[in-house]
Amino acid sequence: MDKVNLLNEKVRHHLDTIYQGIFPSDKLDDIALELLKRMRISHEHDILIPQVHTNLWNEKDVVLITYGDSIIEPSADLSQGMHKPPLQTLYTFLDKYCAHAVNHVHILPFFPYSSDDGFSVIDYSSVNQALGSWDDVTRIANEFGLMVDLVINHCSARSLWFDNFIKQESPGKDFFFTIDKDTDTSLVTRPRTSDLLRKTSTTDGTKYVWCTFSHDQVDFDFRNPEVLLAFVDIIRLYLDKGTRIFRLDAIAFLWKEFGTNCINLPQTHEVVRTMRTLIEHASPNSIIITETNIPNRENLTYLGNANEAHAIYNFSLPPLLLNTLITGDCGYLKSWLMSMPPAQNGTFYFNFIASHDGIGLRPVEGLLSDEEIANLADCMQKFGGKVSWRTGLLGQQKPYELNIALIDALQGDMHGPDEFQIQRFLCAHAIMLGLEGLPGIYIHSLLGTTNDYEKASNTGQSRSINRHRWHFDSLSRELDDAYSLHHQVLTQMTQLISIRTAQSAFHPNATQFTLHLGTKIFGYWRQSIDRTQSIFCLSNISKEPQTIKLCDINLIGTDEWVDLLTQTPLHSQMQNITLAPYKSAWITNRFHKG
């Protein structure tokens, strides 16, 4: 059987699983052919064969997460408006300050939008004119690996598709999920407290449109294959514009079925597999990451058997690491790490501890008690943060996420602020950068940006507290001032990253074992895939000095050892080492300075 027929058969199998008898066989045949045609892989020479269980990444890969307008500057050309296209300013910033530290950039939704800072997309095919143009996007893509959001669960209520839905015209007439207003939705898992249904007047009468997140974000109905086809067109466009990594936003909520919780349904997983099949046969080096802010066990299922997402967001890490550093006890973090299965070749964990969203709390359900989650939320509020809420199954209000800049979240411990803010902040990143997986670093963590109370007040949105917009001139002054908090953070963060990217033991799929060094020292061991380098990653997560017996980590006496972070030589005859509060050590037998 030739490549075209083999691929067509595989896609046809995906469609059988998704639509499960909704359509006759000949209809599914037509859909399969159309999907391949729209991805431009309908001929033998178009099809590229992906390598199964191949790692398309290594220790040098680091992703910077940023909005297109996180940094702005005045325009010298008045024809461009008051400000230079921010995507051009972003490129200048990346080139000047980040080129030696990161090699991928996640530009958060840069499309025309109506709310949610970009995640309520009006038009998927164009760049928001206030940010720049496709040329600006592709320029960044040519210098850095580009990560783009596929906002696939919903779009803006101001989109052409929804306007056509109201007028009952195509395309869009049957694109959105509607139900009878009296349908029992009590089992539905909600990330928000707003009403699930939006009452909408159309030329075909009143419709009740499903809105998982807000009434400006109307959910698609993937029971209609025309919606799947439309998103394949979008994927093809993004590939053409240089996208290497696709972030499937809010994918867990994609498929709805009455009488279920409407999250993580089998059809949702099959849609991800379908997209994986199409993307990897059109562009074998492209990667899919699923964004599923859900309990850890459910999140892991999106890796499938290396046939679904290439990577999943490691959503349990941010709240567990934060809890560790403010309680001075790594017990929960250690237990979780031991429970995590190694990512098989061809998959990886996407590690992060801060992002444009808050620190989600659902991923620690079952890992921390309700009381511990409440204590964590209370501490963050005392540090100037905010808490977003969701409605539980019994109608109760439960904390959903913490909204606070990471450097402010780490200004102290449960007893209040102290003098260890920067040390604690750097300790958190030293832990994250060494872990199995590929790191993503939010621009405001790289810069040490603090809470933006003014923006949160102006927008009325809690998440805005961690979405500051810098002016390039003032940012440059801060970064060039050796005494500035932002200079200190950027300098030390980029040093950490440069050391990390030079170590083969930090390959995203290198071996990892958790060390048992008590509750005050969090430690794990990494070994390179070729077994030539070992690194013992040790962090004092308390505000008191901690001594570690070197016999407890069993350094091999025939090797020479050095702490990569201080360049201090160690030897097996030494009895112990002492780590100052919130200090880390990366002890290796193969020295690469970075």
Q: For residue 215, give the nearest of 197, 190, 193 by alpha carbon.
A: 197
Confirm if 63 and 439 have CB atoms less than 8 A apart: yes
* Of 86, 91, 116, 88, the residue nearest 102 (C-alpha): 91
φ, ψ for residue 515, nearest 5 deg: -95, 150
* Residue 468 tokens, joined: 């500051």
Cα separation, 306 vs 287, in Å, equals 12
Residue 406 in tokens:
């990471």
State the DSSP string of 266-313. HHHHHHHHHHHHHHHHH-TT-EEEE---S-HHHHHGGGTTTTS-SEEE
Amino acid identity of residue 516, one-letter, is: H
Helical pair 25-38 and 3-19, crossing angle rounded to 10 deg: 120
The whole-angstrom separation of Cα 412 and Cα 399 is: 21
Q: Where are the beta strands (DSSP E) in 211-266?
A: 217-219, 243-249
Beta bridge partners of 156: 217
User: So which residues are the catalytic ones?
Assistant: 249
* Burial (CB count <10 Å: 0-12, 13-18, 19+), residue 416: exposed
**Distance from C-alpha of 396 to C-alpha of 411, rounded to nearest angstrom:** 31
SS3 561: strand
Cα radius of gyration rounded to whole Å, the chain: 24
CA–CA gap between residue 282 and residue 239 (Å, rounded): 9
Distance between CA atoms of residues 301 and 308, nearest Å:
9
Q: Which residues are annotated as a binding site for substrate?
A: 116, 154, 247-249, 356-357, 463
